[in-house]
Structure 1
Amino acid sequence: MARPSDEAPARARFDRLDALRGAAIVWMVVFHFGFDLAHYRLIDADFYRDRFWLVQRTLIVSLFLLCAGIGQAVAARQGQRWPRFWRRWAQVAGCAALVSAGSALMFPQSWISFGVLHGMAVMLIAARIVAPWALRPGGWRLVVLLAAGIVAVLLPSFVQHAFFDTRATNWLGLVTRKPRTEDWVPVLPWLGVMLWGVAAGAWALKRRPGLLAGAIGRPLQPLAMLGRWSLSVYMLHQPVLIGAILGGIALIGR
């Protein structure tokens, strides 16, 4: 059990976590800018099959979900109550619905029915339930979370069924073939990554609070600011990027 002096203050400012989330935002914006350029045939890149871009996507989503898991551990340490959690959750779920609607207009045949925000909305509930438990004394709890994460990550490789191949059921992840969609972040295997985030956050809060709550230098402050407004940036960056690209195409074509 950690000594009280080792634990992060209940209301500490977690600038380092915000900056890490901000780094994920910057990485995502750069990735999507490249995707948009390829979509409008301004660059020659295959974001659907090229391993380089597929790995980039996996790493970006992983970083977001790790930060979300760590964030739930922080919220539990700060005594967040369920009503506040549900208010934030409603924002994520509402934005997920907007993503579905927007993608249906742009990609009618491959619209997003269960992308990163949809997956996050489901997985956040699980993370919110286990985070207070993970913060209790006993290192074995973190081992259990790590093991559960490994099971979640590996299960889709061993269990698949055609029942899960429809839009109504592929959100779980036990599919026999990847669905045709612009973004797909099913509960399995990605819940495992968020559980690892919860475990990492609980361990850091109890053993190395400075990893999350320590001061950051002035150059990293913009990243921390982005991290605190990550959902807003996520929702706005694609309309801005696409608008800028189309505007540039129109100007060049004159």
Structure 2
Amino acid sequence: MNPTEARPFRSPRYDVVDALRGVAMVWMTIFHFCFDLSHLGLWRQNFLVDPFWTQQRVMIVSLFLFCAGLGQSIAWAQGQTWARFFRRWLQIAGAAVLVSIGSYLMFPQSYIHFGVLHGIAVMLVIVRLTSGWGNWLWLAGLVAILSPWAAQMWLSGAGENWAGLMNGRALNWLGWITQKPITEDYVPVFPWLGVMWWGMAAGQWLQRRRSDWLSVKVPKSAGWLSLMGRWSLSYYLLHQPILLGVLSALIWVMK
């Protein structure tokens, strides 16, 4: 048997895409480090209201979801099977469950019931099913991004019953709400599906028109960003327990 036949085929990875995801990981780590300092009383900041922090969160989540859509466009173009898609999907869904359990132990009154991993798990299925929409993905993304504002306008005149229904936990994961839920992380399907759709659309455009951009080699000095991007899910799950553990240990030692 030819040795090459004994090894399963591996689709090529694009270092520049992994590095972009790595940038999001570094940015997220800095953000969470600052959040942990505030949570532990070392540096008081208002992460719920201060535009400096709220806008950073929006940009970090946007970069994450754009990269998820971009990565899905590459996987789809490389002929990723549904079986392989769902193997990865199960990892993300399982990680989302772990985040909910861990956040409940730390923040029982505001635990994460639909955060970024929950949102990614739902949105990936939708993006996969709509991957053949081509250029219509740009318009679909715009509609998705604008839909929460349209929903707020409608709910404001639809009465308290409708608003209460959409604001409840059974449906607030859609994002068509008038009042944000009390939770440590909230990434509903709308408007965020629009960002992932744009990532898918951008990836398809790049592969049709500028495939050489995807093949750009990342400098060796930035290779660690690509490595982080390749292990993004594991890093996401581990970085906060490590950060909180280290900071808590330092506080205990300094007492």
Alignment TM-score > 0.5, same fold: yes
TM-score, length-scaled by structure 2: 0.90
Q: How does 1:31-70 map to 2 (within 5 A)?
A: 31-70=31-70
Structure 1 counterpart of 2:91: 91
1:152 paired with 2:154, answer no
Distance in 2 (alpha carbons) for counterparts of 1:166 and 1:210: 47
Residue aligned with 1:171, SS? helix
Deviates more, 1:154-163 or 1:177-186: 154-163
CA contact (8 A) 1:70 1:197 kept: yes
What's the Cα RMSD here?
1.1
% of aligned pairs identical? 53
Q: In the alignment, residue 141 of structure 2 is paired with which amino acid?
A: G
- Residue 162 of structure 1: how far off its partner (Å): 2.6
Residue aligned with 2:46, SS? coil
Distance in 2 (alpha carbons) for counterparts of 1:227 and 1:210: 20
Distance in 1 (alpha carbons) for counterparts of 2:164 and 2:138: 29
Q: In the alignment, residue 148 of structure 2 is paired with which amino acid?
A: P
CA contact (8 A) 1:123 1:191 kept: yes
1:244 paired with 2:236, answer no
- Residue 97 of structure 1: how far off its partner (Å): 0.4
1:55-97 deviation digits (Å, cap 9, x = unpaired): 0000000000000000010001111000000000000000000
Residue aligned with 2:172, SS? coil
Distance in 2 (alpha carbons) for counterparts of 1:17 and 1:162: 41
- Residue 219 of structure 1: how far off its partner (Å): 1.2
| Unaligned stretches of 5+ residues in structure 2 | 1-9, 153-162
Distance in 2 (alpha carbons) for counterparts of 1:12 and 1:111: 38
Q: How does 1:1-254 map to 2 (within 5 A)?
A: 11-131=11-131, 133-134=132-133, 141-142=134-135, 144-160=136-152, 161-253=163-255
1:35-54 deviation digits (Å, cap 9, x = unpaired): 00000110021111100000
Distance in 1 (alpha carbons) for counterparts of 2:20 and 2:58: 16
- Residue 128 of structure 1: how far off its partner (Å): 1.3
Q: How many residues align?
A: 236
- Residue 168 of structure 1: how far off its partner (Å): 1.8
Distance in 1 (alpha carbons) for counterparts of 2:179 and 2:113: 16
Q: In the alignment, residue 154 of structure 1 is paired with which amino acid?
A: L
CA contact (8 A) 1:127 1:194 kept: yes
1:226-249 deviation digits (Å, cap 9, x = unpaired): 000000000000000000010000
Q: In the alignment, residue 251 of structure 2 is paired with which amino acid?
A: I
Deviates more, 1:237-246 or 1:151-160: 151-160
Distance in 2 (alpha carbons) for counterparts of 1:13 and 1:67: 13
TM-score, length-scaled by structure 1: 0.91
CA contact (8 A) 1:110 1:181 kept: yes
Moved segments of 4+, more than 4 Å: none
Distance in 2 (alpha carbons) for counterparts of 1:221 and 1:14: 12
Distance in 1 (alpha carbons) for counterparts of 2:16 and 2:217: 7
- Residue 13 of structure 1: how far off its partner (Å): 2.7
Structure 1 counterpart of 2:6: none
